[in-house]
Structure 1
Amino acid sequence: MRTPAKKTRAPRKPRGLNREQAEEIYARLAEIRPEPRTELEYVNAYTLVVAVALSAQATDVGVNKATRRLFAAADTPEAMLALGEDAVREHIKTIGLFRNKAKNVIALSRLIVDEFGGEVPRTREALMRLPGVGRKTANVVMNEAFGEPTIAVDTHIFRVANRTGLGPGKTPDEVEARLEAITPPAYLKGAHHWLILHGRYVCKARKPECWRCAIADLCRFKDKTPAP
């Protein structure tokens, strides 16, 4: 009689960090960057909406290069409408998906003028009505422009939250919910910026620089990169 083969169990994923560990992570990141903020350049809430919408599948550096001249020509929705789609497209042609993004910039500008009196709406629901604005963009605007304690989960934050165990999840919405649940209130306002900047400059996608990471001892990532 053949002995049944033993079933091999898939290795368990590391459990998330506890609140005390989460607080220590934020304390260390806050010590490195006491006043974190977006690296996108903007002059008001409206130009922030445009800049964040343009940053989808593009780098902040690339967006900033394009928007310096664009915002010099138009920094209000009324001025952007007067500038026109063709001119907007010409300004942002170095950015990926620039044709569709130019259409969205004009469309969101018109909606802001027609339905919100030329003022950027302050709620997530209203912001997400703007063409080209999803939950992530809305959260960035609410946090940066209006001081709301929101967490916008982009690829950097998704990676850092899962690698460290701070907010593991299979979807951006799941990661956002877990980060909001475990982040101490005192750190909620800056959490988005601390995590995105950490992911951009230290916890990089292909080769995280674990040897110089301020939270390496708390991080649950097993395959830590040794010092070069």
Structure 2
Amino acid sequence: MNDHQSGSAAPAVNIDKLAQRLDDAIQALEESRSFTKAGKLPRVLDIARRVLLQPDGCRIIEERAERLELAGVFAGTDWAEPGILLPTLTTYSLQSQNADTVVIEAFSELRLLAVARGSYLHPSVSAEQAHHYLTQVLAINLGLLFGMTGEAEREQGKLALISQNLVQYVAHHIGYEHVIDSLIEEIWRILEQRPIQVSDVRKMITQIALCRADPQADLGSAGRGADRLISSLYGPTRACS
């Protein structure tokens, strides 16, 4: 079975041995010279993909986030500068049919989660900035968070498990009960301070509206403050543009 064939769960493996293999691959990348890193990276990505398919995979990668970055997994890529990453682009990466793209995106999100939680003191991104970024990522990828991916999941196959596990892991550590409310606060913050990102805000509000409208998405009492935002975008009093 390849990465693009569907599967409801990853096969059972010895996660400790797999984690050790990952550590060995990271060490080889760390010790390699810059011009040989490209040859060492595929092994890191392949083992990490298998790790991320396991129930405890995101934790294992998060614990190694700093090592992975310093070893050079982001060198020469769009993920190299976390301070300028665009949350809206994560949807394309997380729903990609390319395994390396999904894995590197997972590395990036778990790196920022480590920063947000204070376990990784990053030189260019603060814990607050990382938290704000991840809040936006969750807003834009609520479909993944609540299992509403449809055709994209079928096309992605087993890789969809990595993306779903990732956003659920991030949301769990930010706090499920605060996800929607935090997203609403983030939208107002952007509107007040960075109005140039109106397109991002529209996409966030649309995702929240879709999530709230889905009968299978149990949000409890969260998101009640979204009414004003949703009405402002879809209400009958809003002039059509």
TM-score (norm 1): 0.28
Q: Considering only CA atoms, is the larger Rg found in Structure 1 or Structure 2?
A: 1
Higher helix share: 2
Taking structure 2 as the reference length, what is the TM-score of the superposition? 0.27
